[in-house]
Amino acid sequence: MMRVERRKCSVLIIGGGIAALLAAREAAKSVDDVVVVCKRKVGRSGNTLVANGGFAAVIPSPGSEDSPDVHFRDTLAGGRFLNDESLVRVLVEKAGEGILELERLGVPFVKMDGQFFKDMVPGYSYGRSVTVFNDNYPYAIRGKAILDPLRQQVQASQAIIVESTPIVKLLTKNGTVYGAMGVDLGQDSLVQFEAKAVVLACGGAGRIYAQTNNTSDVTGDAYGLALDAGATLRDMEFVQFFSTFVIWPLRCHAPSTFFPDGGLLRNRSGERFMVHYDPQRMEMATRDVMARAIITEVGKGNGVKDGVYLDLTKVDPGLLNTKYGTLVKLLRPQQIDLTKDFIVISPTAHFFMGGVKIDVRTRSDVAGLFVAGEAAGGLHGANRIPGNALSEGMVFGPIAGREAAAYARESAGTASGGTKVMDTYPKREPEVRESVPELRNALQQIMWAEASIVRSASSLQKALDRIAELKTAISQVGVGTPRELAEFREFELMLDTAEAVVRSARTREESRGAHYREDIPTSDDRWLGRVEVRRKSSALDIEFCPAR
């Protein structure tokens, strides 16, 4: 049996992005022993690192007609009214003060004449996208403009940061979480964290798809870990596919703010094809509509290099060189002049609207387990409007930290005991038929082909059948070291997350928001409600809960 290092703390925070860092800072205000554990580097990994920097927030300014109530209505409309309204209300009421707090903590924002610059993007009634000033950072890691000052704040709070330590299991006893088991990749050893409260803030699962703009560590850990611990997932059928990911002449993110500034979508014939899919909003359509439109055009043979053209020639040149200057510089070595040349974009897996079911205090239905950021579900409903992701982490991260610290203070102590985590996996045999990377690639390909932007009963069944085969295959891959356990468990959690997505999508017999069934292309209000997922024994149990 391998040696297990034990570390005790009051609050354990799993993750390294905006939600985790703000949770850590808040928790450290009232408890002394806070630990932040991250699969990679805290503040140097996860999707906050690659975020464009737009926060949806209502900040009062002269002449603005925007309000939290309007933000509330926009969010519900974007989510096709499946959102948990109590979570939405918390978001819209606290987002404005959250921006002011981030600025006090050192996060720089774009301003004009001393006022926050507010962009208009699809899904908004008024401009409210408050953008981080990130021109001083490389385009591929521009989220460091957010993460650098927040990491410094966490370090100053005396919270302990543990890096390169993926969590492979949440530890539970009598329905209560008391910590987590991790793998120290540097030492190739096990670490058992014993905690009075745990905050799960390790993001989404874009990497279960072959095409994604997520960082490589965003593989669905939160969802799989939560299921294993007894928590409930909700809305897992709703996966957002970002419609403006540049695939030629290079691969990078292109912000949706291009569209209100004059950006146009064209097919290979030069036609503005959005007229066929959303004739009123055209390029101001929501991401779910736009993603389906692009995939449909490509399927009809109207695409370009598996995507469509993004035409920015009508955008003011001065605006291109200032507001979008970083992208202009990135494309310059490719001999692309955005005032004359088109680039090619395609949808890519971007964000999970679903996640762990929580209440307004970020409590899951497992005692001691709090969840924030993309790991949580319920806020966005069937589709997320731009800016609400970063705002979600900004608002609910501190709530999770505060609530976890309060829970920890009231707890008598942590459970403990030996956890024979290595003993539950088969030992490595001399010959292994398939490697974990090969199995992971197979999962990503089947999810992209059969359970992504356009789905059907038959495609979803194909995905389920293949997932079952992959579960059989991974059960035959032995584990000999902690590092191998980390790789093994990451893939197991990916499989559970993928199965939750597919089973939820098969259950919802309608099309709504980001969930589109080509065999049932219309919405049906009998499906107003949420699909919940729980683990029962070794199987996933699906339940539809109608809206009240």
pLDDT of the residue at 255: 83
Cis-peptide, bond into residue 249, ω within 30° of zero: yes
pLDDT of the residue at 371: 99
Backbone angles phi, psi at 211, to 5 degrees: -115, 115
Neighbouring C-beta atoms of residue 3, cutoff 10 Å = 7
- How many residues does the structure list for the chain? 548
- Give the C-alpha separation, 303 to 70, whole Å: 37
Q: 221, 39 in Cβ contact below 8 A?
A: yes
pLDDT-based confidence at residue 478 (cuts at 50, 70, 90): confident
Average pLDDT, stretch 264-276? Answer: 97
Sheet holding 54-56, edge to edge: 54-56, 129-131, 118-119
Q: 54, 122 in Cβ contact below 8 A?
A: no
pLDDT of the residue at 548: 80
Sheet holding 239-248, edge to edge: 252-253, 239-248, 343-352, 308-311, 264-266
Tell me what the pLDDT averaged over the chain comes to: 94
Q: 68, 88 in Cβ contact below 8 A?
A: no
- Give the C-alpha separation, 195 to 77, whole Å: 39
For 426-477, what is each residue's pLDDT tens digit?
555 544 557 999 999 999 999 999 999 999 999 999 999 999 999 999 998 8
Stretch among 249-253, 370-374, 519-523 having the lowest mean pLDDT: 249-253
For 20-41, what is each residue's pLDDT tens digit?
999 999 999 999 999 999 999 9
Q: Which DSSP string do the residues of 255-324 spell out, in sequence order? A: -GGGTTTT-EEE-TT---GGGGT-TTTGGGS-HHHHHHHHHHHHHTT--BTTBEEEE-TTS-HHHHHHTT
- The CATH number of 422-524 is 1.20.58.100
Average pLDDT, stretch 297-303? Answer: 95
pLDDT of the residue at 121: 87
For 325-342, what is each residue's pLDDT tens digit?
888 999 999 999 999 999
Tokens coding 46: 């996860």
Domain residue extents for the chain:
243-349, 422-524
Higher pLDDT, 147 or 430: 147
pLDDT-based confidence at residue 70 (cuts at 50, 70, 90): very high
Q: Which neighbouring-strand residues pair with 348?
A: 242
Percentage with pLDDT > 70 across the chain: 96
pLDDT of the residue at 430: 44
Tokens coding 186: 């540097």
Side chain identity at residue 89, one-letter code: R
Bin 60: left if φ > 0, else alpha if -120 < ψ < 50, else beta. beta
Average pLDDT, stretch 377-403? Answer: 98
- Give the C-alpha separation, 170 to 198, whole Å: 9
For 160-176, what is each residue's pLDDT tens digit?
999 999 999 999 999 99
pLDDT-based confidence at residue 61 (cuts at 50, 70, 90): confident
pLDDT of the residue at 194: 98
Q: 207, 239 in Cβ contact below 8 A?
A: no
Q: 198, 14 in Cβ contact below 8 A?
A: yes
- Give the C-alpha separation, 70 to 272, whole Å: 30
Side chain identity at residue 525, one-letter code: D
Residue 251: helix, strand or coil by DSSP?
A: coil
Average pLDDT, stretch 256-285? Answer: 95
For 399-435, what is each residue's pLDDT tens digit?
999 999 999 999 876 656 555 665 555 555 544 557 9
- The CATH number of 243-349 is 3.90.700.10
For 106-116, what is each residue's pLDDT tens digit?
999 999 989 99
Q: Which DSSP string do the residues of 420-463 spell out, in sequence order? A: -TGGGSPPPPS--SS-HHHHHHHHHHHHHHHSSSSB-HHHHHHH
Q: Which neighbouring-strand residues pair with 119?
A: 129
Q: How many helices (H) and strands (E) does the chain have?
A: 12, 22
pLDDT of the residue at 307: 96
pLDDT of the residue at 429: 57
Average pLDDT, stretch 247-258? Answer: 89
Side chain identity at residue 374, one-letter code: E
Q: Which neighbouring-strand residues pair with 242?
A: 348
